[in-house]
Structure 1
Amino acid sequence: MVSVDDRPRLTEEEKKQNHIQSEHKRRTQIRNGLEAVSKIVPDCENLTRSEGVLLHKLVEFMAMHMEERQKMIEELEKLGEEVDPQMKVCLRNLDDYYKNRTKPEEGGETSRSPTGQPEEGHGE
């Protein structure tokens, strides 16, 4: 059995090459993830090189679907159905998102609550 001290040490060049390979792998994974997102979120097919815009659109897309989920849960509860509390966890996160959201620099959008109403005192 070879102990840790018996293994040959990496040279600086080997360390550098390992770092380069790791960074390349990391960037490839990010690029593949962004490409997958751009195929799912409407109107994002050509935004893979604009990560910030793509991520902003993803958050808006998710918030829209979470709002729909919230409405469905409310409707189920009105009908007397029991809704698993885990189903509501992400909805609290949605409320936090709208409360803590900063105004986007482009587009001049205003923050809206899950009910679609503009938030009071936003951006102050």
Structure 2
Amino acid sequence: MSGSPSSPTSPANDRPQTPGEAGASDMVVNANGKRRLTEEEKRENHTRSEHKRRETIRGHFERICAIVPELDSSMSRSEAHVIVMSHTYIKELKSRRRALVEFLRSKGIEIDESKMR
């Protein structure tokens, strides 16, 4: 029954399937000879990647909260608040460093600031 329209050897099946056709995901390959991902597989991969990205950001966000003294657990931890408080803390640290360098220089001690970055 090789002449039936559903047969793999029929003329209708000699053309390449498009990604929207049933079974096309098994047939369409990329330049490396690997099967292309279905839309569902792409969506799942994207969801996993996005989840991993959010977890990474959340982890670094928590590390910042642990480092900046003004960000204790009882305070609001909105992203905006954490960024503002972190910026303030960094400016304070830079000011302290500048004051220490000036103090050491006033005592005749030279500091190679290129090694302090």
TM class, shorter-length: 0.5 to 0.7
| Structure 2: runs of 5 or more not aligned | 1-29
Listed as ranges, the matches of 1:62-77 within 5 Å are 62-77=90-105
State the superposition RMSD in angstroms: 2.1
2:66: which partner in 1? 39
| Structure 1: runs of 5 or more not aligned | 91-124
CA contact (8 A) 1:44 1:54 kept: yes
CA contact (8 A) 2:104 2:110 kept: yes
- Offset, 1:39: 1.6
Partner amino acid for 1:68? R
Alignment of 1:60 with 2:79, yes or no, is no
Aligned equivalents of 2:78 and 2:69: distance in 1? 15
2:57: which partner in 1? 30
CA 1:57 to 1:84, structure 2 compared with 1: closer, same or farther past 3 Å? same
Q: Secondary structure at the match of 2:32?
A: helix
Identity of aligned pairs, percent? 34
Regions of 4+ moved over 4 Å: none
1:12: which partner in 2? 39
TM-score by length of 1: 0.61
CA contact (8 A) 2:71 2:77 kept: no
Query: Number of aligned pairs?
Result: 87
- Offset, 1:5: 2.2
Whose Rg is larger? Answer: 2
1:81: which partner in 2? 109
2:13: which partner in 1? none
TM-score by length of 2: 0.65
Aligned equivalents of 1:70 and 1:30: distance in 2? 31
The answer to which structure, 1 or 2, has the higher relative contact order (CA under 8 A, 6+ apart) is 1
- Offset, 1:51: 0.7
| 1:46-98 Cα deviation digits (max 9, x unpaired) | 3574011011101111111111110000111112212113157x6xxxxxxxx
